[in-house]
Structure 1
Amino acid sequence: MEEFLLIFRHEDASDKVSPEQMQAWMEQTMSWLDDIAAQDKLVSRGNGLAFEESKVVKSDGIVTDGPFGDIKETIGGYIMVRAESVDEAVEFAKGSPILQGEGNSVEVRKVAYYDGPE
């Protein structure tokens, strides 16, 4: 069994989604997570990622404020699941309520663990 990170990418919808719709999506998300957990496949519920108190460090050492929600796409959060294959992890991702938003996506990445030198 492998572990996969499901990374939620979304476009800024703050001016397009009502508070009621956001609440409905949150309830759907909790239900979706509960379904994965009931299969003993949820490793971590992860967290959402805030824009406040955030910085971007670049390879040249420059540090900037951000990321900002006014860019086209942002990473909104993540969860970690346990799956037999990337295909099974993709099936979990397909059930994510974030996909109801136009332009949103879920990136599925296998977690690579390094045990150190042998």
Structure 2
Amino acid sequence: MKDFMFIFRGATEQYDFSAEEMQQHMQKWFAWVDDLKAKNIYKAGEPLLPEGKMVKGAKALVTDGPFAESKELVGGFFIIKAASLEEATEIAKGCPDLPLDGSVEVREVMKMDM
């Protein structure tokens, strides 16, 4: 099995959920994580706060960002185990944010001997 990272973008930041709607949506996330854990393929994952800084270029210029109004804001990540990129991609289709126009970038984690 290989490790893959799911990078979650968009979706819930674009919607004005009521407290009840947000609770219902979060229950979908918890159920998905529980399912992945039951299959022993979930390794880690966390949501990310929208505030941050961007460090860029040879001069290490620091700016505010990413910006919360961006449709491409990274909202969090998972690390999961799968046999292949194709299998990991199929697993990503369970993301609760997809019906809200969210997206999941699926990337294999490169193993490095250090």
Asked if Structure 1 and Structure 2 have the same fold, meaning a TM-score greater than 0.5 normalized by the shorter chain, the answer is yes
- Secondary structure of the 1:27 match is helix
Count of residue correspondences: 112
Q: Equivalent residue for 1:81?
A: 80
Q: Distance in 1 between matches of 2:67 and 2:38?
A: 35
Q: Distance in 2 between matches of 1:68 and 1:20?
A: 26
Aligned AA for 2:109? Answer: V
Aligned AA for 2:93? Answer: K
Structure 1 unaligned blocks of 5 or more? none
Report % sequence identity: 42
Q: Equivalent residue for 1:58?
A: 56
Q: Equivalent residue for 2:103?
A: 105
- Secondary structure of the 2:70 match is coil
Deviation at 1:105, TM superposition (A): 0.4
Deviation at 1:73, TM superposition (A): 1.5
Deviations, residues 30-71 of structure 1 (Å, cap 9, x unaligned): 100110110111111x1111123x210011421011211112
Moved over 4 A (4+): none
Q: Equivalent residue for 2:14?
A: 13
- Secondary structure of the 2:29 match is helix
1:40 to 2:40 alignment: yes
Q: Distance in 1 between matches of 2:76 and 2:14?
A: 15
Q: Equivalent residue for 2:23?
A: 23
Contact 2:9 2:71 in 1 (8 A): no
Deviation at 1:100, TM superposition (A): 1.9
Using structure 2 for the length normalisation, give the TM-score.
0.90
